[in-house]
Amino acid sequence: MATLTLTGLRKSFGETHVLHGIDLSLADGEMLVIVGASGCGKSTLLRLVAGLETPTAGSIRIDEREVTNVDPSQRDIAMVFQNYALYPHMSVFDNMAYGLRIRGLSREEITRRVNDTAGLLGLEALLARKPRQLSGGQRQRVAMGRAIVREPKLFLFDEPLSNLDAKLRVQMRAEIRRLQRRLGVTSLFVTHDQVEAMTLGDRLLVLNQGHAAQLATPMEIFEKPADTYVAGFIGAPAMNFCGATLVDEGRAARLDLGPVIAFTDGQRPGEEGQTIIVGIRPEHVLQGGGLDVIVELAEPLGSETVIHGRLSDGTPLLLRAPGGPPREEKLAVSFPPAHLHVFDQGSGKRLDPIRG
């Protein structure tokens, strides 16, 4: 059990700045998911916490102990990798026991820990097998077991589900969450998959080109994204965006396409004449209204269909419609005011409406 505190953490490789002053505090037993596009600095941040990279500036504390320049072996951290990193010539038992032997634990203690962890993960019947005799899901369980037997203060997961098929990813995702809650170990989980991020984390850290774009609970980020990057990254399919201008003393938005949408209850996110970006999620776009959408592609998913289309000015638009694909090549849609997200056009930052 441990807390983790990162203060002003920066990392550069020569002239390339990868992380720009990350500040972060994890509570004891919390699962934080770090999510973002490829190259945003997720894995670098994890490697800094693990001690596999040295920060350019800033500090790392586990509990009250400064570990910024402490050797990885002395940080009491266990890491689960994307490629499992199992020793191919060792049995499952020996893979799980190896780190304990290095630490000099007794044979009895090693056997107890490995057997207990194997029982926890359903690996009892596989302890004598070699990694090549295991499926991808079983190898991932062994990699997790090797981390669990060490009873570390901190778990680090570096995209551990990336090599699994879709069905197994869903299963392993649930297993990891149940195990983390049961063990109560403070954990950092890196992924580029926003579904994993939403379902696994107590909180999410969304990184954008080395900057912390938003740190909040999954639902807070989904319902109130801090900027257009977060809004477009979290949610599947992605949020739609349209250019607009505030009118009626800021109480309504005139879309660049022409229609005016009044905000609910007289709220206003800014001053009249301010240029904004209006966002709306595909599931909130209503059929019927004053906006015409040319249907380009329909993806039937059984109970619903994801429709890819374009507005009259060429702006792409996604919507989710119940049932099968539409027969029409053109749909009329509208944006309900209660589900609009408003962002400043210049900075991309969220503009929260105020009453008045």
Q: And the tokens for 159?
A: 């995209």
Q: 3-class SS at 158?
A: strand
Residue 122 scores a pLDDT above 80: yes
Residue 170's pLDDT band (boundaries 50, 70, 90)? confident
Closest by Cα among 159, 211, 174, 155 to 21: 211
Do 202 and 250 have their domain in common? no
The residue that leads in pLDDT, 194 or 348, is: 348
CB 44 within 8 A of CB 209: no
Q: Does residue 232 lie within any of the structural domains? A: no
* Same-domain status, 279 and 188: no
Domain of 141 in residue numbering reads as: 4-226
Query: Where do runs of H (alpha helix) occur along the chain?
Result: 42-50, 92-102, 107-121, 136-148, 166-183, 194-200, 218-223, 228-233
Confidence of residue 174 (pLDDT cuts 50, 70, 90): confident
Is pLDDT of 94 > 60? yes
Degrees, nearest 5: CA angle 327-331-335: 140
**What percent of the chain has pLDDT above 70?**
99
* Whether 82 contacts 162, CB under 8 Å: yes
pLDDT of 191 over the 60 cut: yes
* pTM for the model: 0.89
Q: Quick check: 267 pLDDT over 90?
A: no
Same domain, 214 and 74: yes
Q: What is the pLDDT of residue 4?
A: 96
Q: What is the mean pLDDT of residues 77-99?
A: 90
Which residues have C-beta within 8 Å of that of residue 308, sequence separation ≥ 6? Answer: 295, 296, 297, 298, 299, 316, 317, 318
Asked if residue 3 has pLDDT above 60, the reply is yes
56-60, 147-151, 324-328: which range is least confident on average? 324-328
pLDDT category of residue 355 using cuts at 50, 70 and 90: low
Mean pLDDT, to the nearest integer, of 291-295? Answer: 94
What distance in Å separates the CA atoms of residue 264 and residue 250, rounded to the nearest whole number? 12
143 shares its domain with 217: yes
Least confident of 18-32, 45-59, 82-96, 215-229: 82-96
Domain presence at residue 231: no
Q: Each residue of 134-148: pLDDT tens digit?
A: 988 899 889 989 999
CA distance 77 to 245: 51
Domain with residue 213: its CATH number is 3.40.50.300
Look at 215 and 323; give whichever has higher pLDDT: 215
pLDDT band at 356 (very low <50, low <70, confident <90, very high): low
Domain C-terminal end among 226, 253, 273 = 226
CATH code where residue 301 lies: 2.40.50.140
Segment 320-349 mean pLDDT: 92
Q: Are residues 152 and 280 in the same domain?
A: no
- Calculate the dihedral angle through the C-alpha atoms of 64, 65, 67, 70, rounding to the nearest 10 degrees: -170
Judge whether 250 lies within some domain: yes
Q: Is residue 278 part of a domain?
A: yes
Predicted confidence band at 61 (pLDDT cuts at 50, 70, 90)?
very high
Would you say residue 353 has pLDDT above 80? no
**Per-residue confidence (pLDDT) for residue 280, from 0 to 100:** 97
* Segment among 47-51, 118-122, 213-217 with least mean pLDDT: 118-122
- Provide the token pair at 319: 């919507």
- For residue 225, whether the previous peptide bond is cis, meaning omega lies within 30 degrees of 0, is no
pLDDT (0 to 100) of residue 261 = 93
Is the model's pLDDT at 266 over the cut of 80? no
Could you tell me if 126 and 210 lie in one domain? yes
pLDDT at res. 193 = 87
pLDDT band at 15 (very low <50, low <70, confident <90, very high): very high
Q: Are strands 316-322 and 211-216 parallel, antiparallel or unpaired?
A: unpaired
* Residue 178 CB neighbour total at 10 angstroms: 10
- 173-180 long-range CB contacts below 8 Å, 24 or more apart? 173/199, 173/200, 175/141, 176/144, 176/200, 177/31, 179/120, 179/121, 179/144, 179/148, 180/31, 180/155
Split into its structural domains, the chain has a count of: 2
Do you know the residue count of the chain? 356
